[in-house]
Amino acid sequence: MSATTLSLESRAKLSDGNLIPRLGLGVYEMTDNEASRAVAWALEAGYRHFDCAEWYYNEQAVGSAINRFLETPSCPIKRSDIFYCTKLQSNNGYDAAKRSISQSLQKCGLGYIDLYLIHSPYGGKAKRLESWKAIQEAKDQGLIKGVGVSNYAQRHIQELLDSNPKHRPTINQCDLHPFMARLQLVEFCRSNGIEMECWGPLVRAERFGHPVILQIAKKHSATPAQVLIRFSLQRGYITIPKSVSRDRIKENADVFNFQLDQPDMDQLLSLDEYLVTE
């Protein structure tokens, strides 16, 4: 997709054929109240993708807010227009993964999960592959539509692919932004049909004052957050900025009336410092 044709409705086609909205709302560190409000505001603003996790302890609040919106008599959309992702907190074996999937499904109350990720590779090879077995079975049962991983290094992905899985991962969600570019991992994932999704696309608000970000923001009459979101989208990454503020939720989706040019993109890519955000 060319940068000029991007919009809030843009979806990427994953290797399993499913479509994922390119921009979504991250809900990490939101209390239930914050999540209820933020999800409702995001839906009003046109977001259709929500990135949740067992670890965030707000799956119920996020799912309920989505269902409340869908149940509004004048609601213009249906469940199938929403993309809900959640993640397995820990690799504790096959039975534990089965239990987690079932609990996540029950908590969100959405009938199915659009994308289910292994949150992190911790736990060792045997446990990672046991989790994957449980996840594949849930996909075969229709409980989960799509499957993927998060925070996987190349060797973890290779290990999974070498196990000759029935369902290959469609996504690797990693911290990814100009200060953590991971170009080799991106290339490896893409060559294996795995889309990159970036968490921390706003660098967790830690680099808004960087002179290059400020200069590019000024050039496009945009905010630093909007520059970072545009960068991610133009790199072709699925992007899930988090905000609990109504205005910032709107601001983060208001990124389709300008375009970064190649010198901007090159300058942003040159900022890589392998920054691990706190």
Ligand X SMILES: NC(=O)c1ccc[n+]([C@@H]2O[C@H](COP(=O)([O-])OP(=O)(O)OC[C@H]3O[C@@H](n4cnc5c(N)ncnc54)[C@H](OP(=O)(O)O)[C@@H]3O)[C@@H](O)[C@H]2O)c1
Binding-site residues:
119
CB of 74 to ligand X, least distance (A): 28
CB of 120 to ligand X, least distance (A): 6
Q: φ and ψ at 129, to 5 degrees?
A: -70, -30
Q: Is 241 in the site for ligand X (CB under 6 A)?
A: yes
Here's the x/- map for ligand X, 53-92, by CB under 6 A: it reads as ----------------------------------------
Among 36, 100, 150, 232, binds ligand X (CB under 6 A): 150
Q: Is 189 in the site for ligand X (CB under 6 A)?
A: no
Binding-site residues for substrate sit at: 119
CB of 202 to ligand X, least distance (A): 3
32-45 and 246-253 helices, crossing angle to 10°: 40
Q: What angle do CA 255, 227, 244 make, to 5 degrees?
A: 70
Q: Is 114 in the site for ligand X (CB under 6 A)?
A: no
Nearest in space to 173 (alpha carbons), one of 6, 55, 3, 2: 55
Among 20, 21, 26, 213, binds ligand X (CB under 6 A): 26
CB of 237 to ligand X, least distance (A): 12
**Which residue minimizes CB distance to ligand X?**
26
Which residues, listed in sequence order, are joined to residue 26 by a DSSP beta bridge?
51, 242
Tell me whether residue 95 or residue 217 sits nearer to ligand X (CB atom).
217
- Residue 56 among the catalytic residues: yes
Q: Which of residues 242-271 bind ligand X (CB under 6 A)?
A: 242-245, 248, 251-252
Residues lying near ligand X in the complex (CB under 6 A) are found at 26-28, 51, 119, 150-151, 173, 199-205, 223, 225, 240-245, 248, 251-252
